[in-house]
Structure formats: structure tokens, C-alpha cells
Amino acid sequence: MAMKFQVLLCAFALLQLSVGAQNLNEVEQSPEREKKNVQDGSCQWGVKVWYKPGISVRCNCMKCTCAEGKWNCEYAFEYCPHFSCGGEQYSPNTEVCCCGKVYTKKSNYSCCGYSYYNRQTSKCCNYYTVLPKAANCPRYQI
């Protein structure tokens, strides 16, 4: 749902930009040129702004790529590399958020509540208690 909203927000923002640019440059596009753009597989963004297939447009955290006359939009991490965790920003490429606490990402580690534990030596019981691997989780904590 949030992604659809961002796509709509991007489309509206670029529509406003393209209308303003056209008014400044007095760009006119004939119906013949528009027909050729459609046949070429170009994508329309805004009122009279066309992009060739393979061209990408960035809008907020979205990357939209023209393909066969349609825009394929998806979240692009490189445009918005930080996420929020417990009131601070973190980068999910190098860090992990465990219930609001940020840790440096390590292999064979996982979150267990607020803890970031080594899965090779420990285990998580009931999503919040870390115990040694050999220990048994209490029945009410399985």
C-alpha cells in the first residue's frame, strides 16, 4: 500500500515538474510524434514527457524503469539507504534492528527480542530469551 502511494506521489510530482518545464520551454508534441513514441515502446511520464525503453527515473525512494511502454516501479534501496530503528537510523546492508536496538550485521547471528545472538552457540526461546544451544527451552517458552 505504501509503495503504491509513493508511486502515485512520484507520478504527481513529475507531472507538476513536466508541466512547468513545458510551459518554460514551450514544448509542443504533435499527435504523430506521440503515436511514434507509443510504437517505439516509450513511456509517458507526466503530460508530454516521453522516455525511451530502458531509461530509469528516480522519484523519492522509487526507481521507475520504462519497459515496453509501461513503467516498472520498485523501491530502490540505494536512493533511501537508511531505515529507522528505535528512533535512530540504520543501514540494513550492514546493520540489523532487534526490537529497537541496532547491531552490526554478523553471519550466523539472529535477533531474539532485544538480543543479537550467535545461532551456533545459542538458541532463542519464545522470541525473547537466549539460552545455550544444549539447554532446553522451558515448555511455556517454546
Binned average pLDDT, 10 residues per bin, the chain of 142 residues: 48 43 40 77 79 85 86 77 80 88 95 94 89 86 48
Q: With b meaning 16 or more CB within 10 Å and e meaning fewer, what string describes 111-125?
A: bbbebbbeeeebbbb
Distances (CA, A) of 58 to 8, 49, 69, 86, 106: 13, 15, 17, 28, 31
Domain span at 47: 43-78
**85 and 73 share a domain?**
no
**100 and 124 share a domain?**
yes
3-state helix, strand, coil in the chain (%, to 5): 25, 35, 35
Count other Cβ atoms within 10 Å, centred on residue 64. Answer: 23
Is 94 part of any domain? yes
Backbone φ and ψ of 87, nearest 5°:
90, -5
**96 and 69 share a domain?**
no
**57 and 87 share a domain?**
no
**65 and 92 share a domain?**
no
Model confidence, pTM: 0.45
Domain count within the chain = 2
Q: Which three cell numbers stand for residue 50?
A: 516521453
Is 109 part of any domain? yes
**73 and 90 share a domain?**
no
**74 and 89 share a domain?**
no
Is 59 part of any domain? yes
| pLDDT of 117 | 97
